[in-house]
Amino acid sequence: MDLYFALLTFFLINYMMDPIGNVPAFISIIKKDRRRKAVKYLLICLIIILSFAFIANLLFKLFSIAIKIFRIVAGILLVILGIKMIFLKHRELRPLPFIISLYAGPGVITTTIYMLSKADGLEEEIFVYITVFLATLFSWICIALYERYKKYFEGIIKYAINWKALLLIIFGTYFIIDAIF
């Protein structure tokens, strides 16, 4: 397996899922029985991500859908998400849709599909799926450890949203440029 591909996959998927950065949002909306609810919600997110990724990957292979077009659209989507994070305020949301938007939102799904499109063989495709699973597991661990390390999480999160938005714009631009050239 190509080391560059492995590192890029690992960092992009974990960055998009943001296991540490999403903890305070999860904690703010889920008040009781957090560990059990985290397992339930994160399993739903994992199924959503893997389903979308598997179906998209299959469609790309079966119907030879132009992957360059997908990469451009994925890049545009990530740029829009980044701009939205910078300029728009978040509304009050119901727990399940909110958690899904955090851990299995368009950024995570798009990045997973993008990395599958860049995979060179079955070994790299399996690595992408394993990375999604591990990022989801790490998300649960972060939620489970939140109370114990609350002051550290709060310090990390203080500036994370704006940085994440800027990096989404950068990654989206990268996806577009990669597809064009």
Residues in the chain: 181
For the stretch 12-22, what's the b/e string if a residue is b when 16 or more beta carbons lie within 10 angstroms of its beta carbon?
bbbbbbbbbbb
Question: Tell me: the pLDDT tens digits for 107-150?
Answer: 888 889 889 988 999 999 999 999 999 999 999 998 998 878 77
Residue type, 37: K
Look at 81 and 80; give whichever has higher pLDDT. 80
In the numeric block, which tokens belong to residue 108? 């995570």
Residue 87: CA count within 13 A, CB half-sphere: 7
Choice among 32-41, 107-116, 148-157 with the minimum mean pLDDT = 148-157
Examine residue 156 and state whether it is found in any structural domain, yes or no: yes
Examine residue 60 and state whether it is found in any structural domain, yes or no: yes
- Record the pTM: 0.76
Question: Tell me: the pLDDT tens digits for 53-66?
Answer: 988 888 777 776 66
Examine residue 119 and state whether it is found in any structural domain, yes or no: yes
Examine residue 109 and state whether it is found in any structural domain, yes or no: yes
Are the C-beta atoms of 80 and 175 separated by less than 8 Å? Answer: no
Are the C-beta atoms of 114 and 75 separated by less than 8 Å? Answer: no
Average pLDDT of every residue of the chain: 82
**Residue 151 has what pLDDT?**
72
3-state secondary structure of 1: coil
Examine residue 18 and state whether it is found in any structural domain, yes or no: no
How many domains is the chain built from?
1
State the residue range of the domain holding 130.
3-7+33-180
Examine residue 115 and state whether it is found in any structural domain, yes or no: yes
In the numeric block, which tokens belong to residue 10? 């690992």
Examine residue 140 and state whether it is found in any structural domain, yes or no: yes
Examine residue 14 and state whether it is found in any structural domain, yes or no: no
Q: What distance in Å separates the CA atoms of residue 78 and residue 91, rounded to the nearest whole number?
A: 20
